[in-house]
A and B are shown apart, each in its own frame.
Chain A
């Protein structure tokens, strides 16, 4: 079993909810949050997720963000990108830097997974995902876009898996 179960190490976090800044010279220092505490609100997991935060930043771009009339990714593109990332394991995500998640002028989002000279470039639209590859051995594949139905296509899965087996 040790060959088929991969472990990526524990990620510990210390979490601390606090109340508003206070004037400790004032008599009225009791934080209002104490007055009706839903204790289970303190136990919601907090996961550091730089990639989702990057996607949030992209939907926050202003219209015409490039000065040439570029569109901003819309809600459907954003949710498709989030759903796609949820299907990708940590090992494959290690080939995706948050700076390599970029918007296109057409309102789509490109995610460039790279391992050395090898690249799998994924473009996400409202309800379609396309990709192309640039493998150093010259054996490449591409797709103009397949409908997103919460499943990553075999071609794209295969390309991402191949990326992992490439030499840097």
Chain B
């Protein structure tokens, strides 16, 4: 991927939605005794495109060159509902897809939900989570947690990957950070190889993304306590 080819979009097709472009660098840490530790910085490994709303970052596109593949992600930091989000990112993705011709390997929808428990001393997992098939019961007796479950499942006779991770960690002022990341990933079968821009026009793509959104709501509803579901307007 050549970042400069995408930078031109900021004065072209994406000029009304994104205002800032910067090339990305990759920082890798060589593991070892601190005295011998090294940071390896690789320049121009991708780019970051940021859109602002009232002076705050509202959306971003990240692009990263990785071993044997490229990776694009489209992020909303000001979520205003599913339809607005998906219409916006598909529109952006279509413009991005026209810069270079690439095969799509997979696509995902990921939701990150973050809560802060503002009295860490009184932390009670039972007030946040409910017993479900997704989480082990041991979490209810624990005050820190790093848990992930990654499964293959089937929808419309097609296999997809369903990943949920839950992390509970300590913050300043005795607070707790509770992070839930849920994603649904559809891997394109080798027999159905297709180009990035072609994918975006397929009815099955939109149907799969709608399904992923629905599954996210169902998963959160299954793991979060009723009061929390109400607090985030899930029910």
Give A residues with C-beta under 8 Å from B.
Answer: 1-22, 24, 29-34, 37, 39-40, 42-43, 45-48, 50, 53, 56-57, 59-60, 74-76, 78-79, 86-92, 152, 156-158, 160-161
What's the Cα separation between A161 and B118 when bound, in Å?
Answer: 11
Number of A-B contacts (CB under 8 A): 231
Interface assignment of B39: CB less than 8 Å from any CB of chain A: yes
Chain A contacts for B107, CB-based, 8 A? 14-16
Chain B contacts for A14, CB-based, 8 A? 73-74, 86, 89, 93, 107-110, 209
What's the Cα separation between A15 and B181 when bound, in Å?
Answer: 13
Contact between chains at B163 and A87 (CB < 8 Å): no
Contact between chains at A22 and B102 (CB < 8 Å): yes
Interface assignment of B228: CB less than 8 Å from any CB of chain A: yes
Q: Known interface pairs A20-B102, A75-B37. Does A157 touch B93 (Cβ–Cβ under 8 Å)?
A: no
Contact between chains at B102 and A13 (CB < 8 Å): no
Give B residues with C-beta under 8 Å from A.
Answer: 1, 24-27, 29, 34, 37-39, 41, 43, 48, 50, 57, 60, 62, 66, 68-79, 85-86, 89, 93, 100-119, 122, 127-128, 150, 152, 161, 163, 165, 169-173, 175, 177, 181, 183, 185, 187, 190, 193, 195-196, 209, 227-228, 231-232
What's the Cα separation between A123 and B117 when bound, in Å?
Answer: 27
Q: Which residue of B lies closest to A158 (CB)?
A: B173
Q: Known interface pairs A14-B89, A14-B209, A33-B105. Does A60 touch B69 (Cβ–Cβ under 8 Å)?
A: no
Contact between chains at A48 and B71 (CB < 8 Å): no
User: Which of A13, A43, A92 has a CB less than 8 Å from the CB of B74?
Assistant: A13
Chain A contacts for B171, CB-based, 8 A? 87-89
Contact between chains at A152 and B172 (CB < 8 Å): yes
Smallest Cβ distance from A77 to chain B, in angstroms?
Answer: 10
What's the Cα separation between A75 and B190 when bound, in Å?
Answer: 42
Contact between chains at B114 and A30 (CB < 8 Å): no
Chain B contacts for A15, CB-based, 8 A? 71-74, 107-110, 183, 185
Contact between chains at B76 and A13 (CB < 8 Å): yes
Chain B contacts for A152, CB-based, 8 A? 172
Smallest Cβ distance from B21 to chain A, in angstroms?
Answer: 13
Chain A contacts for B60, CB-based, 8 A? 48, 50
What's the Cα separation between A4 and B228 when bound, in Å?
Answer: 11
Contact between chains at A60 and B109 (CB < 8 Å): no
Contact between chains at A16 and B116 (CB < 8 Å): no
Q: Known interface pairs A18-B105, A89-B172. Does A46 touch B39 (Cβ–Cβ under 8 Å)?
A: no
Smallest Cβ distance from A34 to chain B, in angstroms?
Answer: 5
Q: Known interface pairs A12-B76, A14-B107, A15-B110. Does A39 touch B161 (Cβ–Cβ under 8 Å)?
A: yes
Contact between chains at A42 and B108 (CB < 8 Å): yes
Q: Known interface pairs A11-B76, A34-B193, A48-B60. Does A17 touch B70 (Cβ–Cβ under 8 Å)?
A: yes
Q: Which residue of A lies closest to B78 (CB)?
A: A9
Chain A contacts for B112, CB-based, 8 A? 10-13, 45, 47
Contact between chains at B79 and A11 (CB < 8 Å): yes
Chain A contacts for B114, CB-based, 8 A? 7-8, 11, 90
What's the Cα separation between A79 and B152 when bound, in Å?
Answer: 35
Contact between chains at A7 and B115 (CB < 8 Å): yes
Chain B contacts for A16, CB-based, 8 A? 71-73, 93, 104, 106-108, 196
